[in-house]
Every structure is written in structure tokens, then in C-alpha cells.
Amino acid sequence: MSDNWQAVAMAFVAMFLVGGVVSFLKQGLKAGALLLGVLAAMATTAAVLWW
């Protein structure tokens, strides 16, 4: 991917948060899933901008 460890870390955080979204949706917690979705989008944006 890149030598920039911050971008790699943000990409990992984004994937972790997407897993949380899936888990929250399975439990029926839509508000939590929405919050995690927004945070995942922000982490993805940060990874792209750092890359």
C-alpha cells in the first residue's frame, strides 16, 4: 500500500469500524451502526488523505 504507517493505521481502524457496523446491525442497534458508519467514513477519508 504505502510506507506511511498513519495511512495504514487509519485503514485498519476503518475496517474495524465497518465490522462494528455489521455487528450493530445484526443486533438491531441502528443508531450505533449509524455512528460507527460515520466514523468509518471519516477514518477512510483520513487514510486516503494521508496516503
Question: Per-residue confidence at 2, pLDDT binned at 50, 70, 90?
Answer: low
Q: Are 50 and 3 in contact (CB under 8 A)?
A: no
Q: Which of 3-12, 22-31, 38-47 has the lowest mean pLDDT?
A: 3-12
Residues 15-40 pLDDT 10s? 999 999 999 999 999 999 999 999 99
Residue 28, C-alpha cell as written in the block: 438491531
Q: Are 9 and 51 in contact (CB under 8 A)?
A: no
What's the pLDDT score for residue 1? 52
Alpha-carbon separation of residue 5 from 2, 21, 27, 30 (angstroms): 8, 24, 33, 32
Residue 50, C-alpha cell as written in the block: 494521508
Question: How far apart (Å, rounded) are the C-alpha atoms in residues 51 and 43?
Answer: 12
Question: Per-residue confidence at 4, pLDDT binned at 50, 70, 90?
Answer: confident
